[in-house]
């Protein structure tokens, strides 16, 4: 479905509208709010999109670096095989106690401030 939509988009828009300021063609994904670097010209972009997915790269929104679309495939496969090694043991009671102490200190501070202003 997305390939058909993209081809339709290419037929409607001119090449100039799809190019960035550096003459590189990008694709904006509304589904996951990401931008994909497709290629340096229309032919390369269309070839990469339809046949050579390994040449497509996401653009990191903070660093603006190109990240290959399949960069995290190995990590995902490893995680699927043994997810336990990626999770640390979390002591929920310790976290709750720490949170309660912090909240108690905030309440004490608020009471002090309230008495000072009254």
pLDDT at 55: 92
The number of angstroms, rounded, from the C-alpha of 112 to the middle of its chain's C-alpha atoms is 44
How many domains are contained in the chain?
Answer: 2
**What domain range includes position 64?**
2-71
Residue 90 shares a structural domain with residue 47: no
Say which residues have a Cβ less than 8 Å from residue 39's Cβ, sequence separation at least 6. 24, 25, 45, 46, 47, 48, 55
Boundary of a domain, candidates 34, 51, 71: 71
pLDDT at 70: 87
Tell me which residue of 3, 71, 2 sits closest to 32, measured CA to CA.
Answer: 2
Q: Which residue has the higher pLDDT, 118 or 100?
A: 100
Q: Which residue has the higher pLDDT, 44 or 96?
A: 44
Half-sphere exposure of 55 (CA within 13 A, CB side): 14
Q: What is the pLDDT of residues 40-85, one digit of tens each?
A: 888 998 899 899 989 999 888 888 889 898 888 887 888 788 767 6
pLDDT at 4: 42
User: Measured between alpha carbons, how far apart are the two ends of the chain, in Å?
Assistant: 66
pLDDT at 89: 64
């Amino acid at each position: 479905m997305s390939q058909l939509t993209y081809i339709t988009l290419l037929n409607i828009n001119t090449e100039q509208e799809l190019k960035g300021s550096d003459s590189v063609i990008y694709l904006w994904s509304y589904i996951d709010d990401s931008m994909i670097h497709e290629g340096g010209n229309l032919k390369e972009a269309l070839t990469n999109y339809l046949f050579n997915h390994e040449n497509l790269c996401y653009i990191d929104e903070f660093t603006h670096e190109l990240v290959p679309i399949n960069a995290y495939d190995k990590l995902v496969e490893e995680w699927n095989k043994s997810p336990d090694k990626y999770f640390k043991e979390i002591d929920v009671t310790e976290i709750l106690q720490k949170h309660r102490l912090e909240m108690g200190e905030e309440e004490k501070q608020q009471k002090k401030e309230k008495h000072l202003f009254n």
